[in-house]
């Protein structure tokens, strides 16, 4: 009923002359802060790594290449791939993507282990994202290594990768449940040997925005390298956490298309774009091809056999649908009244609902115009009452509302000044012939 692709009835022209007239200046500027990177962040797109850990994901080589090319065209800074140590095909796919000559830098994600690092540098990647668990949970129940061992291995692996002329990031899994002193001294040590980025990962999705702000801000004071962040969405904070990380001085955000990843995934690329285009419109619009978002999400949704969630930012089927009469009226006058995002920025159109019991006459008036009919305001109000009367009896479709409008108009034409011959009988609009 309310699509986002511009094919449905009331879309398209509803913006009228105000369609692009969103705010001239941006009233949503973040609190100014010299460490904030909300206007200069980079994206590490991990659909082909974290996303491959999504329950439904199986990407064959062709699909991986298609996704990598699309993400590159969209403008992401980095594309992160599954470790070549995961399987022989993963290694070959990594090599194949490196050979595409994309603008985005290609990274692969490896355990903090020299064998994995050696395998990865042979694939032709631009850099390695090295990771190891640092929380007591993971140290005790996963790899069983202590902090001294982690630091020593980390330094060896980082120095090796750097000696090959590649970019290297070092990250701790489960950073928010790691001991803060352990974490900071480890990061200080890897910063000293010249790691390009350190990473903070909320592996279990437990962190709140304020905790993220505090940790990143503290880390910002300890290391001089870039700071990458990675947020799982178990408690629904993945976009807010990414935003707070940037405010606190993080430089890189990990995303995946539709947020796919382990469990319910990580910061979604589209949701992050929605957040950041409001905060930093010039930066986001000049850097990323926002018009490609829907196509990329559809591509990934199809590959992993899911639907785009109805309430997805930007591309959810009703993300730009306005229903209540009060909303519709204001939107038709000026879309900024009830829209913080402009659908046109994403190549999409808004939709003003005109087939419900909440419908107001302004929306119906627009629909009358779209159907190429003309009525006075009083007539539009009359036909609106009919639409609402039917919608009080049952849910109605666009076609129902259109047929009420058309037959009402027909009667006006045939018998100017006479009462319109449409009545609701047994919950259906019924045209009343003369005298019946």
Q: Which residues bind Cu ion (CB under 5 A)?
A: 50
47 is a site residue for ligand HCA (CB under 6 A): no
Residue 276 beta carbon to ligand HCA: minimum distance, rounded to whole angstroms: 20
Burial (CB count within 10 angstroms: exposed 0-12, middle 13-18, buried 19+), residue 211: middle
423 is a site residue for ligand HCA (CB under 6 A): no
Cβ contact 62:311 at 8 Å? no
d(CA 52, CA 54): 5
Among 48, 117, 131, 248, binds ligand HCA (CB under 6 A): 131
Indicate the residue among 104 and 412 with the shorter CB distance to ligand HCA: 104
Indicate the residue among 109 and 322 with the shorter CB distance to ligand HCA: 109
Burial (CB count within 10 angstroms: exposed 0-12, middle 13-18, buried 19+), residue 300: buried
255 is a site residue for ligand HCA (CB under 6 A): no
**Selected catalytic residue, list 327, 353, 409, 413:** 327
Residue 44 beta carbon to ligand HCA: minimum distance, rounded to whole angstroms: 9
d(CA 127, CA 143): 24
50 is a site residue for ligand HCA (CB under 6 A): yes
d(CA 361, CA 384): 6
Site for ligand HCA in 344-403 (CB under 6 A): none
Half-sphere exposure of 268 (CA within 13 A, CB side): 26
The contact pattern for ligand HCA, residues 75-114, with x = CB under 6 A and - = no contact, is ----------------------------------x-----
Whether 409 is catalytic is no
129 is a site residue for ligand HCA (CB under 6 A): yes
Indicate the residue among 36 and 264 with the shorter CB distance to Cu ion: 264
Q: What letter does residue 235 receive in the DSSP assignment?
A: T
Whole-number Cα distances in Å, 344 to 10, 17, 327, 329, 347? 15, 13, 19, 19, 5
In 237-367, beta strands by DSSP E: 252-255, 321-322, 351-352
Q: Give the CB-nearest residue to ligand HCA.
A: 203
Among 51, 199, 268, 270, binds ligand HCA (CB under 6 A): 199
Residue 303 beta carbon to Cu ion: minimum distance, rounded to whole angstroms: 19
d(CA 272, CA 346): 14
201 is a site residue for ligand HCA (CB under 6 A): yes
d(CA 367, CA 264): 40
287 contact, one of ligand HCA, Cu ion, none, CB 5-8 Å limit per kind: none
Which residue's structure tokens are 């000049």? Answer: 286
Q: What angle do CA 45, 51, 54 make, to 5 degrees?
A: 160
230 is a site residue for ligand HCA (CB under 6 A): yes
127 is a site residue for ligand HCA (CB under 6 A): no
129 contact, one of ligand HCA, Cu ion, none, CB 5-8 Å limit per kind: ligand HCA
Indicate the residue among 63 and 171 with the shorter CB distance to ligand HCA: 171
Beta carbons within 8 Å of 146's beta carbon, 6+ residues apart: 139
Residue 308 beta carbon to Cu ion: minimum distance, rounded to whole angstroms: 21
Catalytic residues: 327
Positions touching ligand HCA (CB under 6 A) are 50, 53, 109, 129, 131, 171, 173, 199, 201, 203, 230, 232, 262
């Amino acid at each position: 009923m309310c699509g986002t692709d511009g094919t449905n009835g009331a879309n398209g022209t509803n913006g009228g002359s105000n369609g692009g007239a969103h705010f001239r200046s941006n009233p949503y500027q973040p609190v100014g802060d010299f460490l904030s990177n909300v206007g200069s962040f980079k994206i590490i797109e991990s659909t082909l790594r974290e996303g491959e850990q999504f329950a439904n994901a199986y990407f064959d080589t062709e699909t991986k290449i298609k996704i990598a090319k699309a993400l590159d065209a969209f403008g992401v800074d980095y594309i992160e791939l599954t470790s070549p140590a995961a399987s022989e095909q993963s290694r070959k796919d990594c090599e194949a993507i490196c050979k595409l000559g994309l603008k985005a830098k290609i990274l692969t994600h490896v355990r903090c282990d020299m064998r994995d690092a050696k395998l990865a540098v042979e694939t032709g990647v631009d850099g390695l994202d090295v990771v190891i668990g640092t929380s007591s949970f993971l140290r005790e129940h996963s790899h069983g290594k202590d902090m001294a061992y982690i630091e020593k291995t980390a330094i060896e692996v980082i120095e090796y990768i750097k000696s090959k002329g590649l970019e290297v990031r070092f990250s701790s899994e489960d950073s928010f449940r790691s001991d803060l002193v352990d974490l900071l001294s480890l990061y200080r040590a890897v910063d000293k040997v010249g790691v390009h980025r350190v990473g903070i990962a909320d592996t279990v999705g437990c962190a709140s925005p304020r905790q993220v702000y505090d940790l990143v801000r503290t880390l910002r004071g300890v290391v001089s390298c870039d700071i990458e962040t990675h947020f799982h969405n178990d408690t629904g904070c993945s976009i807010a956490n990414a935003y707070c990380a940037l405010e606190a001085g993080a430089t890189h955000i990990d995303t995946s298309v539709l947020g796919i990843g382990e469990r319910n995934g990580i910061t979604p690329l589209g949701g992050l774009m929605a957040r950041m285009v409001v905060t930093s419109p010039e930066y986001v619009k000049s850097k990323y091809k926002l018009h490609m978002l829907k196509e990329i999400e559809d591509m990934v949704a199809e590959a992993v056999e899911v639907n785009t969630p109805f309430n997805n930012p930007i591309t959810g089927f009703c993300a730009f649908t306005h229903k209540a009469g009060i909303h519709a009226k204001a939107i038709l006058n000026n879309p900024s009244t009830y829209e913080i995002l402009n659908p046109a920025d994403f190549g999409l159109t808004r939709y003003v609902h005109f087939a419900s019991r909440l419908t107001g006459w302004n929306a119906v008036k627009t629909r009358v115009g779209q159907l190429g009919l003309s009525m006075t305001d009083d007539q539009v109000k009359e036909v609106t009452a009919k639409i609402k009367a039917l919608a009080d009896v049952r849910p109605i479709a666009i076609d129902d509302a259109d047929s009420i409008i058309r037959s009402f108009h027909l009667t006006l034409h045939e018998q100017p000044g006479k009462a319109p011959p449409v009545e609701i009988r047994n919950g259906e609009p019924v045209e009343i012939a003369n005298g019946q």
